[in-house]
Amino acid sequence: MMAAFQEISIFGKAGSPNSGKSDSSESAGTSPLCPQCGSTKLWRDGLRYSPFGDRIQRWLCRNCGFRFSDPDDVQRAWSTFESVERIHTKSLKVSSERPSNRQICAGVAKNLDAEQKNIEVPRRSEDIKGNLIEFAWKMQQNGYNTETIRGYGSCLRGLVARGANLADPESVKTSLAKEQKWGQNRRRNVINAYTLFLRFNEATWTKPKCKVTRKFPFIPTEQELDALIAGSHKKNAAFAQVLKETAMRSGEAKRLQWTDIDREKRIVTLNEPEKGSNPRMWKVSAALMEMLNALPRTSEQVFPGSLKSMKGTFLDTRKRLAETLQNPRLLRISFHTFRHWKATTLYHQTKDPYYVQHFLGHKKLTSTEIYINIEHTLFEAGANDEFTVKVAEKPEEIKALLEIGFEYVLQKDNLIFLRKRR
């Protein structure tokens, strides 16, 4: 279980460096080995900061594309974090009662009328780390998948980094109210993660309101997707091509194993879908099969390593190609954009929402209907608008459609396209 969290740091997004903390020169000596492939060919990939300002060097492996934090810097930051205790002061009105080695921020010291004041600082790191590991373990015991565990852990670490006390729901609400950079989707995920954290600890809270407005996704052109695939190294290129042809979620594609691929029949099978979706099978192109066959088989998984490192490499490729091709639209493409593009394109080709629903694995048609609106807007009216188009795979389906007036149009792979004039 711990292996799934070794790349996740307790320290959230970068803070402000403090004087007297570790500086980048402390990690400027010999570079560490890549924990993914053991290579020494590394690039420095920026800095991160702990809540107390400790600098943490990030590394990018030139061999496998894996990103990781310098272990020496992480240990140094943990040592700083572990030295912080909860501080209790006595009356602030009598100077002799204040220990000389304690400091109080001027903004906090103003207008203090109470005789007793507690200054809240982050709890000891072993308590926080232990609580988060126990939470992850309980999620695993209750059948949550790895990506959900990682995501919820990230949400709780984000709260801790912003000063929230996970034992105090009011403190969490305050942190949520002050955080303005989180979007509504992120805020909802944080609320859901903390609700589950409380439930595992037999506690409850009154959740703050969070309304997520559904937005239309960005739909690129096929040429833009192909440009990103062509500009990626072979592992990410094959991964993106899988997403393009199957509309799998990135987490689903990441879990593919070689036993899920039938090379002779060119069939890819998904038996471990995400978000309660149905399992699916696809007939893929010969080009994709060649790309998969070119990958090294060093693991049971088709795409070994972490999804986070693959996303990071994809973002670098995306930025480079956007500058080279002078096309800023590429910066709006993510792994999930391939799924949106495939769904929209497939509905345009078939005008059959039930087939698109089946292709995507949606449990409900309402999840698929958004692509109908997108298709109507993006594609101009043409000759196909005069027909209703259906797609069939099995002989009995073809027979039933022919009996009600549909005509054969063409066959692509194992799909039969039929149409009937409206």
- Dig out the tokens for 216 from the structure: 């239309």
Superfamily for 222-339? Intergrase catalytic core (1.10.443.10)
Q: Mapping DSSP to helix (H, G, I), strand (E, B) and coil, where does residue 318 land?
A: helix
The confidence score (pLDDT) of residue 356 equals 95
For position 104, what pLDDT does the model report?
A: 43
Q: What is the model's pLDDT at position 62?
A: 83
DSSP one-letter code for 301: B
Distance CA 206, CA 188 (A): 14
Distances in Å between the alpha carbon of 311 and those of 61, 221, 224, 232?
14, 21, 18, 12
Q: How far is Cα 34 from Cα 61, in angstroms, rounded to an integer?
A: 6
Closest CA to 414 of 253, 267, 256: 267
Q: Report pLDDT for 379.
A: 78
Q: Which pLDDT score, from 0 to 100, does residue 23 have?
A: 41
pLDDT of residue 50: 61
Please check whether residue 319 is in contact with residue 328, taking contact to mean a CB–CB distance below 8 angstroms.
no
- The pLDDT value recorded for residue 97 is 41
* Per-block mean pLDDT, blocks of 10 residues, the chain (422 long): 39 38 44 86 79 74 84 73 41 40 44 40 59 89 85 92 90 90 90 95 92 88 95 96 97 95 96 90 95 95 93 96 96 97 92 93 91 84 64 88 83 84 63
Residue ranges of alpha helices (H) inside 102-257 are 106-109, 125-141, 146-161, 169-178, 184-200, 222-230, 234-246, 250-254
What residues does CATH 1.10.443.10 cover in the chain? 222-339
Give the pLDDT confidence score for residue 119 in this predicted structure.
35
pLDDT of residue 79: 64
Q: At what angle do helices 335-350 and 222-230 cross, to 10 degrees?
A: 140
**CA–CA dist 263, 257 (Å, integer):** 13
pLDDT of res. 125: 54
Question: In this structure, how many other beta carbons lie within 10 angstroms of the beta carbon of residue 116?
Answer: 9
